[in-house]
Amino acid sequence: MPHHSPSTCLSSRPHDNRVSDAAVHFNGCLPDAKLRRFYESLAPESQQRIVRINEKTADLRHRLETTERDSTAGSRLRDFKRAMAQWSAATGRSHAPYASQANLGSGASRSQTPGTQAFGGATHPVDGHIKASVMYFMDGEPYDVPGVPKSFPHQKVPVADLLSEDETRNPIMQPTEDNVVRYFHLPANNMAWVEEVIARYYHEKRPEPNGGLYKYRSGRPESKTEMILQPGYWQGQQNFDADSEVHARHMRPFCSGISADPVASEPSPRNMALFMPYLHWETDRGRARSAAIAKEASKHNLSSITDVVDQAKQQFSPLDTVAPAWVSPQPAPVVPGNIDKRKALGQALRAAAALLEAMDSHLEEQLMMRYLHAEPPLHPRRTLDQAYYGALRSTGARDRDQVVYRGTTPQPHDCIGMDTCPQCNEDIRKTPRIIVVDQLWLWCLDERTVITSFPRRWGRNRPDPSAIHKSLRMRLQYARHGEISSAYDLALVIVDETSRVFFDRTKINTKQPNLVELFNAAIRDLTYKQTAAFDQFLIYTHLASRDYKRQRYTSSDNSTQNHLLNINPEGELLKEVKDIMDELHIMMRIKEQQQTVMESFVKHIRRALSPLVRSHRPAPSHVSAAWDIALGAPHDTASPYLNDPTHLREEQHRQSAKQTLTKADILLQDLHERISELRALLQNAQNTSAALKDLLTLKQQQAGVIEAREAVKQAQLTLKQGQSIMIFTIVTIIFLPLSFCASVFGMNAAELNEGLLPLATELRLMFPISTGIILASFLFAFSRGVFTNSAFVLVRSAVSFAWNTAVTWVTVRTGLYVVGREMLVKANRLREREGTVTGGMKAEVLRREKNLERMRAAGHVRALARQRGTERSGGRGSGDGEGMGAVMSPAFSEGIPGSPSPFLRVRSEGVVDVELGERASRKPSSQIHLVPAR
């Protein structure tokens, strides 16, 4: 009898005694009639968990149903409903839009998400759905924040609460004791969030974008928020402008202390700002999806004239646009009686998978659409090439040429069968991944509060073991006693966790690619191929030398020479190793930037903690005893200093400061080791590159040898041909006069004794004459003497003089010379006139075509402007602030009368202009002018 594994959750068979997950069993296994009985049999903790999960599911369902129709999640939900309707029609089963649930009491109803009061008086739901992490430490020990769900280190609050001005909702505005260290994390590099959170920390208003001008005019002092966010420490560190590519946005590597006192500068500032890039990873599908959303958001912004013209061309183009790979096809309409059950089930499963993916990335999509082109904007994640080649408009091809992508992508192979092929079984588990560059933004405020901002992977809402913040929470959860005694200790842990990505050997069983091993494998593979190519080169060189020595020139010799002269294989290998070196250079550059930032960070920590360490009064034995007691170590308890809390507290602070400085030194040392590891990889790649260059040099030298051998061979063949021609020439010189004389005597002419000359007479005449002609011919043909050459030159010069003199005399005397010059002048004038006439005709045609194209583009822009104005005027009542008018500059408010938000501006001369910003590679503004006719 075959062995069947026992059924468990998400199985149609009864398994009430083998429930692996109560929530999964409740929602996925039980019919409606058994829901209440199972729910009431659970413990209160399990009941609360089911209620919490169902509330979250209901909230997500409500968001998907009420989201914009053009959003990915909304379209996927509609596709799933249609697919399920098809499946129901094919199987004859009744299908409700959602499974009914038993009434579990008031506690099980879906909680209403409160409206989130965002900054600027506008509301946006994405701020209320994204969670910000909150962690507290009291006296170096983890501390659960009152009023926040869950426990340390998994406590989170909506970002909208951190942006709120309500002190009862916002934990960053609530007062705490001096022995509490607080940590707040924002899960995106959103400059608007950062400004609001820092303003809430100081109980102030967010600074206006142009607040500095009004401040100096009014004479009021700067607020603490303005001191922390002054241009030199915030906006001035941006390494992009409004016309740059979206993926070019980043903050310069930077770390500095900041004084929040607007009156007197502090000798040792208690605030610090840090911007540091670090390496992380992303799936290729997530990268493509985020790039598509960024492009869609940019289309809504219409910040470039190029985008407008492209849209106009696409509208007039007769070709259909190919849908992206991530867009799933729309299910066919339901036709009862003509539906395949298997096909309907496949479409339903595919629609469910697409819906699940859209649900995963719904928040990221809303966040990018809301803040990507806001002021200040959101900084998206960058790939490795985008971080280095920020001016490139698209790096998709370069991203898919990464070493990590090639190492995590299934490679073509000869399959031996789906059931027995081990390569196929291994490829199924592979997920193409790439290396990305993220940014860590960190602020230490008043040495008691740490605020960080760095992104997470695209669409990764479930727990991600390789996520930076997940690793940070696990590390802080198991931190030793007293390890986090100050904000600097916490900041060191955060910086260390971001810098050790791909270099932490303790993390296993994660989807994070093993970067070092992948690069090692790629370099080893190239080194092996280089060695094999070198061995092959030596073999073919030996064969070519052997054939040359044996004077064997066959078809195999041509094949050998083709292998020796072909440099394409080595060129491909050299290109691959150059790509590896390029990626290693980029990663080393990022690590060196980290080193620079960390050195400044450690210098700031030393400046802040050195007075505390130096101010200690020497009492070695007694104070060390107090510190031992504080750490729990046994020591002599008879010392009178043990009862002095002041000395004990001072010693604790001093030892804590010393430990912080020690950890800072260890952090720099660890980073130096990681740079050394990358440098070793780069050195291996450079060695392989040098070996390939040496091989190419040897091939070039061997090609020179082959060319020399071919030249010798060709010279030998030419010599043989010359000898043959020489023999033919000699024979011709000898027999041609004899043949001529014989022909003359054979004509039977009357002058030659009426053709009756005796043979002896003919021979006496023929041979002397022929001998003289033959000798003269040999003399002129084979003589290399000076006299012969001079005679030839003299004859040629005499003939040339006579001919040229005669021709010139005739042309001058007859007037042909003057006529020819006049004809040449007329011909040149006709050519110039021909170029002018034809050029003008071509320019006229091009001008008409250009004016027609620009008129079409201008008409399309006018239609877009009217459409945007209509949408904005119709959406003003909603108050979401997401219309096109919300991002338009004031320059668009004036133009053609009657247009709500005109893009067009009519000048007095009747020239139509379209004024839109261009990218950094072009001029700041561009105008489309109709070219006037000449």
Q: How far, in Å, CA of 762 to CA of 742, rounded?
A: 8
Which among 15-19, 658-662, 742-746 has the top mean pLDDT?
Answer: 658-662
Judge whether residue 765 has pLDDT over 50: yes
**Residue 912 dihedral angles phi and psi, to the nearest 5°:** -90, 125
Contacts of 273 (CB under 8 A, 6+ apart): 228, 233, 234, 254, 255, 256, 258, 442, 443
Same domain, 706 and 557: yes
Same domain, 167 and 271: yes
Give a yes or no: residue 290 inside a domain. yes
Same domain, 449 and 521: no
Judge whether residue 295 has pLDDT over 70: yes
Q: How far, in Å, CA of 136 to CA of 181, rounded?
A: 6
Tell me the average pLDDT across 893-911: 40
Reported as a pLDDT band with limits 50, 70 and 90, residue 417 is low
Tell me the average pLDDT across 267-289: 89
Give the CA count within 13 Å in the CB-facing half-sphere of 358.
26
Give a yes or no: residue 361 inside a domain. no
Same domain, 542 and 495: no
What average pLDDT does the structure give for the chain?
77
Judge whether residue 191 has pLDDT over 80: yes
CB atoms closer than 10 angstroms to residue 278: 22
Same domain, 491 and 547: no
More confident position, 583 or 318: 583
Token pair belonging to 111:
């909680």
Final residue belonging to a domain, choices 702, 719, 736: 719
Give a yes or no: residue 470 inside a domain. yes
The confidence score (pLDDT) of residue 427 equals 63
Q: What angle do CA 284, 395, 295 make, to 5 degrees?
A: 80
Same domain, 135 and 266: yes
Q: How far is CA 172 from CA 124, 147, 214, 242, 261, in A?
A: 21, 13, 28, 32, 20
What's the DSSP call for residue 207?
P
Domains in the chain: how many in total? 2
- Report which secondary-structure segment, H or E, holds 276: strand 271-283
Token pair belonging to 318:
């007769």
Indicate the residue type of 646.
T
Give a yes or no: residue 276 inside a domain. yes
The confidence score (pLDDT) of residue 524 equals 94
**Residue 894 dihedral angles phi and psi, to the nearest 5°:** -120, 140
Query: Is residue 182 classed as helix, strand or coil in its secondary structure?
Result: strand
Same domain, 520 and 462: no
Give a yes or no: residue 922 inside a domain. no
Q: How far is CA 915 from CA 284, 304, 925, in A?
A: 37, 9, 7
Give a yes or no: residue 779 inside a domain. no
Judge whether residue 75 has pLDDT over 60: yes
Token pair belonging to 851:
């004016």
The confidence score (pLDDT) of residue 184 equals 96
Reported as a pLDDT band with limits 50, 70 and 90, residue 555 is low
Q: How far is CA 914 from CA 301, 865, 867, 895, in A?
A: 15, 11, 16, 10
Give a yes or no: residue 636 inside a domain. yes
Same domain, 495 and 523: no
The beta strand positions in 446-540, using DSSP E, are 449-453
Same domain, 199 and 268: yes
- State yes or no: cis peptide before 412, omega within 30 of 0: no
pLDDT in tens, 131-187: 999 999 998 889 899 888 888 998 999 999 999 998 889 999 998 888 899 999 999
Indicate the residue type of 711.
A
Q: How far, in Å, CA of 226 to CA of 133, rounded?
A: 25
Query: Is residue 141 classed as helix, strand or coil in its secondary structure?
Result: strand
In the block, tokens 């009217």 appear at 866
Tell me the average pLDDT across 569-576: 92
More confident position, 418 or 160: 160
The confidence score (pLDDT) of residue 871 equals 73
Same domain, 259 and 199: yes
Q: Is the dihedral of CA 595, 600, 604, 607 positive or negative?
A: positive
Contacts of 543 (CB under 8 A, 6+ apart): 556, 560
What is the span of the domain harbouring residue 521?
A: 515-719
pLDDT in tens, 680-738: 999 999 999 999 999 999 988 888 888 888 888 889 888 888 888 888 888 888 888 88
Give a yes or no: residue 53 inside a domain. no
Same domain, 557 and 690: yes
pLDDT in tens, 612-634: 777 655 444 444 443 444 444 44
Judge whether residue 914 has pLDDT over 60: no
The confidence score (pLDDT) of residue 119 equals 37
- Is residue 403 within 8 A of residue 256, CB to CB? The reply is no
The confidence score (pLDDT) of residue 889 equals 40
The confidence score (pLDDT) of residue 673 equals 93
- Is residue 377 within 8 A of residue 247, CB to CB? The reply is no
Token pair belonging to 815:
């007037």
Final residue belonging to a domain, choices 719, 739, 768: 719
pLDDT in tens, 200-233: 999 998 887 655 444 544 556 778 898 899 888 9
Q: How far, in Å, CA of 128 to CA of 701, rounded?
A: 70
CA torsion, points 783, 787, 793, 795, in degrees to nearest 10?
-100
- Is residue 490 within 8 A of residue 137, CB to CB? The reply is yes
- Is residue 54 within 8 A of residue 108, CB to CB? The reply is yes
CB atoms closer than 10 angstroms to residue 520: 14
The confidence score (pLDDT) of residue 124 equals 65
First to last CA, the chain: 95
Supply the Cα-derived Rg of the chain in whole angstroms: 43
621: exposed, middle or buried (Cβ count in 10 Å: 0-12, 13-18, 19+): exposed
The confidence score (pLDDT) of residue 461 equals 58
Same domain, 271 and 145: yes
Distance of CA 42 to the CA centre of its chain: 49
Contacts of 406 (CB under 8 A, 6+ apart): 522
- Report which secondary-structure segment, H or E, holds 138: strand 131-138
Reported as a pLDDT band with limits 50, 70 and 90, residue 787 is low
Reported as a pLDDT band with limits 50, 70 and 90, residue 242 is low
Token pair belonging to 572:
């491909």
Q: How far, in Å, CA of 69 to CA of 66, rounded?
A: 8
- In percent, the amount of the chain with pLDDT more than 90 equals 26
Of 61-75, 92-106, 695-709, 844-858, minimum mean pLDDT range: 92-106
Number of H helices, E strands in the chain: 27, 13
Final residue belonging to a domain, choices 719, 751, 767: 719
Reported as a pLDDT band with limits 50, 70 and 90, residue 755 is low
Token pair belonging to 178:
């001096």
pLDDT in tens, 501-526: 998 877 766 788 889 999 999 999 99
- Is residue 899 within 8 A of residue 861, CB to CB? The reply is no
Contacts of 36 (CB under 8 A, 6+ apart): 102, 103, 104
- Is residue 904 within 8 A of residue 858, CB to CB? The reply is yes
Q: How far, in Å, CA of 608 to CA of 267, rounded?
A: 10
CA torsion, points 288, 290, 296, 299, in degrees to nearest 10?
-100
